[in-house]
């Protein structure tokens, strides 16, 4: 039996018996080091190196900023703007949820965090309007996943670090796909709500209430303008932008809205520590990724796939199917780190822009957020709505289809993704 096959069996068995993923990857990596007689110091060196890149600080800062904006009243004002904009359409509160998640995604950088922030307000509102609870939870879970695509995105930051791709380019590339998926989710919400007769009883759109809500929420809407405008205007780097976002959230929550308290700030710090604790995955997964080079895994994968087809579109479809399957049981950060090293050399050799592959990777991860047994967004939505993940898993199927349609469009029309970064920064070298 080959050493590579032994490692695959060990990793799969550890995962299937429920071993925490960072332990499974770590033990498999240690076994691989033993087999090929490489000192175990590689793990320690990689662990130190994986947590030292300055851009990595962006992730906890954006998570903290998003949480402060949520508990400081900014999320509620975004929902008010969305509610007055949508008016009395069928599925109005569902459309509000999707639209508000899109706005809040530009603040949090995290899918589960966006689901929690917006869903805690809109799911009870949809219940009061007579929505089927699994459907309401499914809307929240699927729209919350936008937090991983619309910049700033934690997953895009991780992909940028692993692939050595420009993070500002990745952020800019996520805008159009983010809007496309938002429209697909809104269309899905409207069609299902129209068929079931949900919503449509609110006040029709009028400029007066909308302008009042927009004025009240101007500080909330100003946050993504300052953050993204500062990055693309060259005022500050993404990491510095995250620091600015934290300061902005504290200033608005304390002195403008007056809804932040010391207790809420401490709770936000605790939330950030718990959510960013997943970065412990970086150490074993990066070491594992380095070992793939010793075993010529990228070359083996490239030979295997190119033996089937050299068409970059078909190759992306094959990788997409694999990613969606893996995403059902693997944490997204680990998925990005482990398989970028395997598949990126293949797709770039076929002419695929690494920026496009980054957006493609994140969209497949978003589908993973919505598929059991892992399904991070499903777990959050289940807690908010008080129903089982199994019931939400059935209701979320139309929204998974919307994501798949969006993924297919992005594969077939790559210019939708890359034209903005290419226009601002020039073509990828």
pLDDT in tens, 313-362: 999 999 999 998 888 877 788 888 888 888 998 999 999 999 999 999 99
pLDDT in tens, 249-287: 999 999 999 999 999 999 999 988 887 777 777 777 777
Q: Does the structure show a pLDDT above 90 at 85?
A: no
Averaged pLDDT for residues 291-295? 72
| 71-80, 186-195, 247-256: range with lowest mean pLDDT | 71-80
Q: Please choose, from the candidates 155, 145, 150, the residue with its C-alpha nearest in 3D space to the C-alpha of residue 278.
A: 155
DSSP string for 373-387? TT-HHHHHHHHHHTS
Q: Does the structure show a pLDDT above 90 at 230?
A: no
Q: Please choose, from the candidates 182, 205, 228, 170, the residue with its C-alpha nearest in 3D space to the C-alpha of residue 357.
A: 170
pLDDT at 348: 92
What 8-state DSSP symbol labels residue 371? S
> Is the pLDDT higher at 308 or at 357?
357
Q: Does the structure show a pLDDT above 90 at 203?
A: no
Report d(CA 369, CA 400) in Å as an integer.
Answer: 10
Name the average pLDDT for the chain.
85
> Is the pLDDT higher at 310 or at 15?
310
Averaged pLDDT for residues 405-422? 94
Averaged pLDDT for residues 78-95? 76
Write out 409-422 in H/E/C secondary structure: HHHHCCHHHHHHHH
Helix (H, G, I), strand (E, B) or coil at 251: helix
**What share of the chain has pLDDT > 90, as a percent?**
28
pLDDT at 355: 95
**What confidence category does residue 202 fall into, taking pLDDT thresholds of 50, 70 and 90?**
low
Dihedral in degrees, nearest 10, Cα atoms 46, 47, 48, 50:
80
Q: Does the structure show a pLDDT above 70 at 205?
A: no
Whether 55 contacts 238, CB under 8 Å: yes
Q: Does the structure show a pLDDT above 90 at 142?
A: yes
Give this prediction's pTM: 0.85
């Amino acid at each position: 039996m080959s050493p590579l096959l032994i490692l695959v069996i060990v990793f799969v068995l550890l995962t299937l018996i429920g071993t925490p993923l960072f332990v499974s990857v770590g033990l498999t990596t240690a076994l691989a080091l033993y087999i090929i007689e490489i000192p175990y110091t590689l793990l320690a060196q990689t662990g130190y190196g994986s947590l030292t890149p300055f851009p990595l600080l962006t992730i906890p800062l954006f998570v903290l900023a998003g949480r402060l904006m949520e508990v400081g009243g900014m999320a509620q004002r975004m929902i008010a703007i969305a509610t007055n904009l949508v008016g009395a359409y069928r599925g109005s509160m569902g459309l509000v949820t999707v639209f508000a998640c899109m706005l809040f995604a530009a603040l949090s950088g995290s899918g589960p965090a966006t689901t929690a922030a917006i869903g805690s307000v809109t799911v009870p509102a949809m219940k009061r309007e007579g929505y089927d609870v699994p459907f309401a939870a499914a809307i929240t879970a699927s729209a919350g996943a936008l937090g991983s695509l619309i910049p700033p995105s934690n997953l895009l930051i991780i992909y940028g670090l692993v692939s050595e791709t420009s993070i500002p380019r990745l952020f800019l590339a996520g805008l159009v796909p983010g809007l496309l998926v938002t429209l697909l989710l809104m269309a899905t919400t409207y069609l299902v709500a129209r068929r079931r007769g949900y919503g449509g009883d609110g006040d029709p759109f009028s400029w007066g209430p909308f302008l009042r809500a927009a004025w009240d929420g101007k500080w909330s809407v100003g946050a993504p303008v300052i953050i993204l405008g500062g990055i693309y205007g060259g005022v500050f780097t993404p990491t510095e932008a995250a620091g600015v976002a934290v300061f902005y959230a504290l200033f608005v929550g304390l002195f403008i809205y007056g809804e932040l308290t010391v207790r809420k700030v401490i709770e936000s710090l605790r939330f950030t520590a718990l959510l960013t604790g997943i970065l412990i995955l970086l150490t074993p997964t990066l070491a594992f990724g380095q070992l793939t080079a010793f075993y010529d895994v990228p070359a083996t994968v490239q030979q295997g796939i190119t033996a089937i087809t050299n068409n970059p579109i078909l190759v992306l479809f094959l990788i997409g199917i694999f990613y969606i399957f893996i995403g059902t049981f693997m944490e997204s950060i680990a998925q990005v780190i482990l398989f970028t090293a395997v598949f990126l050399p293949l797709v770039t050799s076929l002419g695929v822009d690494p920026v496009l592959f980054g957006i493609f990777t994140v969209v497949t991860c978003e589908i993973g957020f919505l598929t059991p047994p892992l399904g991070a967004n499903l777990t959050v939505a289940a807690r908010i709505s008080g129903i089982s993940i199994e019931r939400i898993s059935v209701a979320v199927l139309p929204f998974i289809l919307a994501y798949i349609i969006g993924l297919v469009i992005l594969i077939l029309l790559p210019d939708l993704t890359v034209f903005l970064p290419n226009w601002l920064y020039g073509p990828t070298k």
